Structure 1
Amino acid sequence: MKFNVHLICNAHLDPVWQWRWTEGCSEALMTFRSAADILVEYPELIFNHNEAILYQWVQQYDSNLFARIQKLVAEGRWFISGGWFLQPDMNLPPVENLVRNIRIGRDFFKEHFGAEPRVAYNFDSFGHPGTLPGILKEFGYEMYIHQRPEKEYLDLPDNLYQWKGLDGSTLATYRIEIGLYHNERSNIEQRLREGADLAVKLGRDVAVFWGIGDHGGGASRADMDKIRNYIPMDDRVNFLHSTTDRFYEGIRPLIPEAPVHEGSLQRIFTGCYTSLARVKRKALEASGAALQAEALTTEANSHTHESDCHPRESGDRNPLSDIWKDILFNDFHDILPGSCTEPAEQDALELYGRAMENIRRMNMHSITRINQSVPELKAYIPVTVFHSNSGLNTFPVEFECMSDYRPLWTGEWVLRLFDRNDCEIPSQEEQPEALLPFHGWRRKISFMAKNMDPGVHHFHAKATDDRRPTTDGGHPSSVIRHLSFLALHDTADSWGTAAWAWRDLAGTFETLPGSKMIVEHGPVRTIEQEIRKYGESRIIINRITYAGWPVTEYKIRVHWNEERMRLNVTIPTDMASPRLTAEIPGGADVFAPDGQEHVHGRWMVVTDDGRPTTDVSHRSSVVRLMGIAHNGLHGFDFDGKEIRLSVLRSAAYCHEQGFSLDSGPYHKYMDLGIHDFRLALWEDPSIDPAAIAEWLITPPLVWPHLSIG
């Protein structure tokens, strides 16, 4: 019996990597045109390609080529494979992003090509979470193909295996076993021979992924001629120009007997958990803000009894859909992980900026519709708050406003806050962003929202000369831990290739004499400030404890000026039998205290009860617990005594370890300059860690001075 070698021609095309998106778009147009031309010349060839974003570029910039591709797909010559919007990083984006990536891609391909691929793939993503089998099965996928982590980094029972996810879902999975996802110009015959050898050895069908790739390319006439010449010389197998779905059909009978791998597919490229820290923080901010905007739009529709009231500036485009596409584009596996160039990083940050500005415009449209539909609240300073975090009903809120149209030059004035029924809300005045000697003309107000359901809530503020005595804003059950900030040597490349732990200490940030002070103190909270220094870098730490809320918040600003080093923040755990559970996309996983660098989402919880669990909320029986949430510190290590969160690393941009940095001209290093990040710590087992992370990244929206009614 002859087995089949499935020749799966593709053109791996990174929209961004060593190049910016405009070059990626240009290459997509050229690669797709070349593929359409060569399919005419070689009638046996089938071309496979994923990633809706590339097809959308063709649709936008070359409609005639798009029509040619539609015809080739209908004829079975061009196969829509994978079916996603693009091939993202799989570790860092929130699950909402991954789901939208799949849905947007599948909807596009079904609408324009009538295609619904059964096999998903992410050839080049740097690891895959254990929640992915369940996600893929919900979309109807029957198999998943990946390349990384390769066999030298991850031992699998076989390259064809059943992947059992954390929810118990099992999905047929295939790790590319011959070469990579592409071939070089000189080795197509070698790949064909290796494919035939392996098919004979294993006694089953195998796949050879070929076509020039990374910057596009695909099939070449030279390679097609070599394939035509080789096939008659090797009659041990059948060589088929094929597709990912057809390959799945060929191996489908073997899947029930394939060995099982349980859990995530990790690890590779640990530097990517931290590289380009600004992009990582903006990614979470933008995704959270888009979800918040969706919730506010839904609220506005319920108030005005309209189903679709997005502001539209041109045509029928839904701005929220465009916002999500901007956000998802930056999830690409050479942008969000931090392996691109500095110009590409700037493009990504500008794209997040566009998304955030469009979100602010949408929110303004929604909240004005809501406020115009509710009973009037006559107030000198109206205040509107939108809260969308279903996991929290008690939480801090802060906003800035003007105390009057002109400064209140005489007397001692204080702004007091009231609800719609004129009941006073305990609040606290603090220093606003502006530093002007105008007698408190602009004020910052903080207050604790209590028992507040998700939705829109209205308050009002007014200036009064009735000053109340200040009470203690600290809270005895707040988590007070000493955070250490470590400067570590980091000479690895942008990916952190072959680096599994970061423990080479260069020095510790030390407190500057006289820098410790209490900067705010009142009935809502106390803010303590401290400045630490190492080398040419400084860290300004603001620790915030709240009255009646058992969470300690840290707002931290870093002035980082150390090249080829990394910054870690260390948090002691002080537990006898610690067990660390951390968020991954769509769930949570347990991590061993091995002192190695791992990747997680927005939060982690350490318990000392030693019981295996991924349900870390509402656990009153836990003896001790410490929770940590943050706004994008994805890399961490845990040795059982302390957690080290990786804050940033100043590796060279888009640098691979084979390129020496030890001599020659100056090179550019990532993550230098000013960074702001936030942490929250707690020990209350009833707190939902995902809710705290959401509050930290996407706090309630506040509109002062907006008319109500």
Structure 2
Amino acid sequence: MRKIHLICNAHLDPVWLWRWQEGCTEALSTFRVAEGFTDEFPGFAFNHNEAILYQWVKENEPDLFERIQQKVKEGKWYIMGGWYLQPDCNMPSGESMIRNMAEGRKFFLKEFGVQPHTAINFDSFGHSRGLVQILNQAGYDSYVVCRPAKDNFDFPEQNYLWKGFNGSEVIVHRSDENYNSVYGHAAEELNKFLEETKEEPVSLFLWGVGDHGGGPSRDDLKDLTALIEEKKEDYVILHSNTETFFKELKEAAPKLPVVERSLNPVAEGCYTSQIRVKQKHRLLENELYSAEKMASAASLLQGKNYPKQAFEEAEKALLFAEFHDALPGSGTQLVEEDTLRLLDYGLEILSREKLKAAIALTAGEEKILDGSSCAFIYNPHPYPIKGQFTFEVGLPKQNWENVFYYPKAYCNGKEVPTQSEMESSHFCIDWRKKVVIEAELQPSCINRVDVFFETIAKRPVFEPIIAKDAFVFENERMRVVINTSTGLMDSYQVDGKEYLKPGSFQLTAMDGTYNSWGLWTDETHCRREFTLLTPHEGSEFSGLMDQVVPSVRVIEDGAVRTVVEALFGWHNSKAYQRYVLPKEGTSFDVEVGVYWNENDTVLKMEIPTLLEKGQYQGQVMFGHDTLRQNGAEVVAQKWNALTEDGRMFSVLNKGSHGSSEKDGTIGLTLLHSAGYSAADGDFERTLREKRHTVRMEQGERLFSFKVEAGKTEELEAVLDQKAQVYNEEPYAFAFSASGTGKKAGSFMTIDNPAILVSACKRAESGEGYTIRVFETANKESEGILSIPALGITKKISLKPFELKTLHLDETAGVIADADIFD
């Protein structure tokens, strides 16, 4: 006899078309009603997840919370999923997903004594394959999703085996009936479900009014009770929970199809909508992980108190911002503002804690030298970093003379290439200095930079390049050609090999859609290029009202790098684009500032490469994915790359997740100016009011990318490390050290660039430290992890893309394998 597990839930978005305050009050109402029905209807059981909602109930209706605790003990209420909330499952880092699960597990173990082993993310817009390994290590063997739906997936079966990068597995149930039922129609929908799934020996049926909560209704429960009685000769239909369903599914031992890729794509517009939220989210991730590493070093090496509570506050801000209608940008404008404010709250906490840790780590540094300024740069990573580093310092005294003071810097006592660039202020005297150096920073420690100053006649100015057809930049390994008529890059060579076609880094506007979740309606969308502004237009855009200068120009040059700026416009929008070209190395940066004033339009940056038959790849949670091509929109994390015939062209980003590729052209998706929470359906009710309606992304938006090319074998081995450095930047600050204390060396080192540290923080127990490492080269890797100050070393062996959590016991002098929730 077929068995049907009814899973009553109330999908409740903490934010979406409403702000968090209403999400809180709706949680109270929904939980209150559901708890009452567990007494009124014998056999009925309610299911709910998301620790944040239970926390709100505990804070605001403690008596209700206590009743729910009792109902859990009685088996009338089930804790489902066990996460902090239902996040986006593509854009957060793997480390963020671990924190989400850890926060939920901690709450539900403490308050209810339960630990679910079925994860649920009903409404998330796709799921990264890297999630499988995390689920396994977190104690989950099964997973319930609703997306991608069967209409855009490879097979009709609701149950399948999902394989991760390292061979880990979970059983997935895709609920095609969706996570909601319409009020008063649950029995009708169940009847339809029974017919559609009649070949399944055991089935799961989700029901309950949702999105804005609600869950069970009295009418639905009466109708379902009657239907259960009516069908009892043919079906066993019972109120149940997800764990029981999967137990019986395994016992039925069906032959399950196997999926070995990410569960994507879903709602591709969400990879780009509300770009400021995505960029600030990435920044908060980076700041949290680097701050924890700094604080761990300051605590272990200098005895500084570890700010665990402050980090937990910042982490909860990060986790809430990862909710699947906040980070993907499908919420209202008010939700966008609330999310940005929350992210800023986390960033403010971390800015204070990072400085405290940094100052503590300067112990033992000598006092400032006469006639100099001093800065320190902390490298949070367990490996040396070579590159260009920027910071601002003040002159030893204000310069009231008619000369310009030019910096000369020494990093860790060694003179390094140095240049002065335009500082962030526009004050009327020569006082502040933006200093750029080329140096190698020692791993996981403070690096000192002493800056002296030489007088020159005036601030450097640079010859116009408009008289030339092209601006050519060369160093020992890289050659770049920028077309002065178009402002675009026509050539990029590394070690004599060409990677680009002419006209690269073209800003292109495309007809989009008003739909927050979509990008465009078909593949014939109109494409319009930004073009170089005339000198008069460019000068006006730049604020140079009393002079006319070319719209392609060198704005910085020195011993470290050259910066070329180009100015563009299209329709009601303008942009500046800067190519930052270092005097050493094979990579360069592209910085873009867009002043956007367009509706229902998508902005892309197009990069036509010579790798026309290349394979498109992207970084995902603790792994790399092969991505769709032929112009389809895809999602990735810190980098995208094309590989062909032993060559690789890669682009690193700081929070730009959406892109596409076709015939060797990479299209980085920058902006999506749809309506707020605007969905397809009844078009006459969507953005048709006779009034001005604000679209997303109006105003200034900033983007940063790093471009790197070379031999696939060489670049692939270090690309994740480069992306980590680009995002978790070294921390630079001007400071005059006290000259007291004992100087410490490196906190931690790892000798294999394929092994990265995703986290180093105080252990949850408060005793010792958690160190999380992962393998990035997709091969068997070994390395030595060292804590020099304690004389501790540990050999690490990792399988391809394997994630491993370690525990450092500084008292015993031991590093041992640990649980992922250590």
Q: 1:85-131: per-residue Cα shift (whole Å, max 9, x none)? A: 11111111111111111111112111211111111110011111122
> In 2, Cα distance between the equivalents of 1:479 and 1:93?
35
> In 2, Cα distance between the equivalents of 1:662 and 1:593?
35
> In 2, Cα distance between the equivalents of 1:497 and 1:516?
32
Match of 1:580 in 2: 616
Q: 1:126-152: per-residue Cα shift (whole Å, max 9, x none)? A: 111122222211111111110011111
3-state SS in 2 of match to 1:657: coil
Match of 1:219 in 2: 216
Q: 1:404-439: per-residue Cα shift (whole Å, max 9, x none)? A: 342342544322212343x3222111110111230x
1:407-446 equivalent positions in 2, closer than 5 A: 407-421=399-413, 423-438=414-429, 440-446=430-436
In the TM superposition, what is the alpha-carbon distance from 1:191 to its structure 2 partner?
2.5
Match of 2:659 in 1: 636
Check whether the contact 1:121–1:145 (CA below 8 A) recurs between aligned residues: yes
Within the candidate set 451, 454, 459, 1:464 is matched to 454
Match of 1:564 in 2: 600
- What is the one-letter code of the residue matched to 2:652? A
> In 1, Cα distance between the equivalents of 2:382 and 2:701?
29
Q: 1:336-374: per-residue Cα shift (whole Å, max 9, x none)? A: 111100000000011111111100011122122222x32
Distance 1:268 1:498, change over 3 A: farther
Q: 1:366-399: per-residue Cα shift (whole Å, max 9, x none)? A: 122222x324333342211111244662121101
Q: 1:460-479: per-residue Cα shift (whole Å, max 9, x none)? A: 22333389999999535346
In the TM superposition, what is the alpha-carbon distance from 1:699 to its structure 2 partner?
2.1
Q: 1:599-636: per-residue Cα shift (whole Å, max 9, x none)? A: 11120121112xxxxxxxxxxxx3x2211111122111
- What is the one-letter code of the residue matched to 1:652? G
Match of 2:469 in 1: none
In the TM superposition, what is the alpha-carbon distance from 1:547 to its structure 2 partner?
1.4
Q: Which runs of 4+ in 1 moved over 4 A?
A: 466-474, 497-503
Check whether the contact 1:6–1:243 (CA below 8 A) recurs between aligned residues: yes
1:620-635 equivalent positions in 2, closer than 5 A: 622=646, 624-635=647-658
> In 2, Cα distance between the equivalents of 1:188 and 1:643?
46
Check whether the contact 2:403–2:458 (CA below 8 A) recurs between aligned residues: no
Check whether the contact 1:604–1:628 (CA below 8 A) recurs between aligned residues: yes
Check whether the contact 1:474–1:526 (CA below 8 A) recurs between aligned residues: no
Distance 1:329 1:487, change over 3 A: same
Q: 1:139-191: per-residue Cα shift (whole Å, max 9, x none)? A: 111111100111112122511111122322221111103x2112111311212
Within the candidate set 658, 665, 677, 1:654 is matched to 677
1:48-63 equivalent positions in 2, closer than 5 A: 48-63=47-62
Match of 1:485 in 2: 507
> In 2, Cα distance between the equivalents of 1:478 and 1:454?
30
Q: Which runs of 5+ in 2 are unaligned?
A: 463-471, 481-488, 490-503, 536-549, 740-822
Within the candidate set 180, 183, 207, 1:182 is matched to 180
The alignment status of 1:332 with 2:323, answered yes or no, reads yes
> In 1, Cα distance between the equivalents of 2:126 and 2:525?
22
Check whether the contact 2:511–2:520 (CA below 8 A) recurs between aligned residues: no
> In 1, Cα distance between the equivalents of 2:521 and 2:101?
31
- What is the one-letter code of the residue matched to 1:334? D
> In 1, Cα distance between the equivalents of 2:43 and 2:354?
53
Check whether the contact 2:514–2:673 (CA below 8 A) recurs between aligned residues: no
> In 1, Cα distance between the equivalents of 2:9 and 2:438?
56
Distance 1:390 1:303, change over 3 A: closer
In the TM superposition, what is the alpha-carbon distance from 1:441 to its structure 2 partner?
1.0
> In 2, Cα distance between the equivalents of 1:18 and 1:503?
29
Match of 1:619 in 2: none
In the TM superposition, what is the alpha-carbon distance from 1:77 to its structure 2 partner?
1.3
- What is the one-letter code of the residue matched to 2:325? D
Distance 1:630 1:282, change over 3 A: same
Percent of aligned pairs with the same amino acid = 30
Q: Which segment is superposed worse, 643-652 or 589-598?
A: 589-598
Distance 1:450 1:320, change over 3 A: same
Instruction: Name the structure, 1 or 2, with higher relative contact order (CA <8 Å, separation 6+).
Output: 1
> In 2, Cα distance between the equivalents of 1:258 and 1:271?
31
Match of 2:560 in 1: 524
Check whether the contact 1:678–1:696 (CA below 8 A) recurs between aligned residues: no
Within the candidate set 373, 376, 393, 1:381 is matched to 373
Structure holding more strand per residue: 2
- What is the one-letter code of the residue matched to 2:737? S
> In 1, Cα distance between the equivalents of 2:657 and 2:524?
14
Distance 1:53 1:478, change over 3 A: farther
- What is the one-letter code of the residue matched to 1:244? T
> In 1, Cα distance between the equivalents of 2:250 and 2:324?
29
Q: 1:46-70: per-residue Cα shift (whole Å, max 9, x none)? A: 1110111111112222222222221
> In 2, Cα distance between the equivalents of 1:706 and 1:223?
70
The alignment status of 1:546 with 2:544, answered yes or no, reads no
The alignment status of 1:508 with 2:530, answered yes or no, reads yes
Match of 2:542 in 1: none
Superposition CA RMSD, Å: 2.3
Distance 1:158 1:479, change over 3 A: farther
- What is the one-letter code of the residue matched to 2:286? G
The alignment status of 1:209 with 2:206, answered yes or no, reads yes
Check whether the contact 2:392–2:435 (CA below 8 A) recurs between aligned residues: yes
- What is the one-letter code of the residue matched to 1:414? Y
In the TM superposition, what is the alpha-carbon distance from 1:501 to its structure 2 partner?
5.2
> In 2, Cα distance between the equivalents of 1:172 and 1:148?
15
In the TM superposition, what is the alpha-carbon distance from 1:325 to its structure 2 partner?
0.8
Match of 1:359 in 2: 350
In the TM superposition, what is the alpha-carbon distance from 1:229 to its structure 2 partner?
1.9
Distance 1:665 1:412, change over 3 A: closer
Distance 1:140 1:502, change over 3 A: farther
3-state SS in 2 of match to 1:465: strand
3-state SS in 2 of match to 1:460: strand
Distance 1:374 1:62, change over 3 A: farther
Q: 1:320-344: per-residue Cα shift (whole Å, max 9, x none)? A: 0110110111111111111100000
Check whether the contact 1:172–1:255 (CA below 8 A) recurs between aligned residues: no
Match of 1:393 in 2: 385
Q: 1:285-318: per-residue Cα shift (whole Å, max 9, x none)? A: 1101111101110110122235x432xxxxxx71
Check whether the contact 2:675–2:695 (CA below 8 A) recurs between aligned residues: yes
In the TM superposition, what is the alpha-carbon distance from 1:574 to its structure 2 partner?
0.6
> In 2, Cα distance between the equivalents of 1:340 and 1:91?
17
Q: Which segment is superposed worse, 555-564 or 378-387?
A: 378-387
> In 2, Cα distance between the equivalents of 1:184 and 1:593?
38
Within the candidate set 674, 686, 689, 2:700 is matched to 674
> In 2, Cα distance between the equivalents of 1:328 and 1:170?
25
3-state SS in 2 of match to 1:183: coil
Q: Which segment is superposed worse, 344-353 or 203-212?
A: 203-212
In the TM superposition, what is the alpha-carbon distance from 1:26 to its structure 2 partner?
1.1
1:46-445 equivalent positions in 2, closer than 5 A: 46-156=45-155, 158-177=157-176, 179-198=177-196, 201-235=198-232, 236-255=234-253, 257-305=255-303, 308-310=305-307, 318-371=309-362, 373-379=363-369, 380-390=372-382, 393-421=385-413, 423-438=414-429, 440-445=430-435
Check whether the contact 1:478–1:682 (CA below 8 A) recurs between aligned residues: no
